[in-house]
Amino acid sequence: MTAFPQTAATRLVRVTDLHRMKAERQLIVMTTCYDTLFAKLLDECGVDVLLVGDSVAEVLNGEGSTLTATLGVRRALVVCDLPFLSYHVSVPSAIANAGRIMQETGCAAVKLEGGRKRAETIRGLVDAGIPVMGHLGLTPQSIHVFGGHRVQGRDEAAARRLKADAQCLQKAGAFALVLELVPAPLATTIAKQLEIPVIGIGAGPGCDGQVLVLHDLLGLTESFQARFVKRYATLSDEVRSAVRQYAAEVRDGSFPAAEHSFAE
Ligand code: KIV
């Protein structure tokens, strides 16, 4: 596998580039992203795909930031999650909702969850010119059906279903697939069997790329630590320490000092 070239041109990553990367065995780097500030930073660092995931509700406990995440991006492919129930009612309403999201956010593609039941919708979206990334395995929008964060595809029948679902999404026209919380050997088999890139999260090293929730990898989320998350920093400690120091200095009068003030 080749590393990201630091001198890489800032040409926008397109869905077809992900296919080329898979063919060239170049691993795809994807993170979630919910705002302009991080979008610029992640883009500068060479992240290939930014996912405006609906994990935003869980991670930031807020809404509405999806509209700004494409601003300032010069290279990364920006993909927006289609919200829960925005693509289940009918194919025409899914096209209208996804089209509106693309127009309002400027994203280049959308992501939706589910297997064979979503094939017709994916076909309709792709026919309308909307690139679609699929999502299989543990699909968070169906967490109440799964009854918790459980590894999917563990028994033979479930593994067979998952492989068939993956083929279905590829046939329907999905340009890539997120595979979440699936045993590593099964994910590797699916990645090998598909022509489209498979981006794993909790699916082992045999996928064509990896995605993590940004705030998890930065160590900003503390209440939940999934086994598949690697923390590359502990920013929550840094934030606490900085804010405590600021508060203490405001209270003892040492901030603002002369250099932070204007004499006239
Ligand atoms: O919503 C999200 O952030 C996601 C990732 C976990 C893949 O779907």
The response to whether residue 59 sits with its C-beta less than 6 Å from ligand 1 reads no
The whole-angstrom separation of Cα 210 and Cα 32 is 11
Question: CA-CA distance, 168 to 171, in Å (whole number)?
Answer: 5
Known catalytic membership, residue 180: yes
Summarised one tens digit per residue, pLDDT across range 78-123 is 999 999 999 999 999 999 999 999 999 999 999 999 999 999 999 9
**pLDDT at residue 5 above 70?**
no
CA gap 15, 49 in Å, rounded = 10
Q: Which residue reads 């590393």 in tokens? A: 3
* CATH numbers and ranges of domains, the chain: 6-217 (3.20.20.60)
From CA 195, how far away is CA 257, in angstroms rounded? 61
Cα–Cα distance between 56 and 196 in angstroms, integer? 26
Distance in angstroms (rounded) separating the CA atoms of residues 121 and 30? 24
Residue 16 pLDDT greater than 60, yes or no: yes
Which residues, 6 or more positions from 5, have their beta carbon under 8 angstroms from its beta carbon? none
3-state secondary structure 188-235: HHHHHHCCCCEEEECCCCCCCEEEECHHHHCCCCCCCCCCCCCCCCCH
When the pLDDT of each residue in the chain is averaged and rounded to a whole number, the result is: 92
Is the pLDDT at 261 greater than 90? The verdict is yes
Q: How far does the centroid of ligand 1 lie from the alpha carbon of residue 43, in Å?
A: 18
**Which mutation among 30, 31, 32, 111 tests ligand 1's pocket best, with the greatest number of atoms within 8 A of CB?**
32
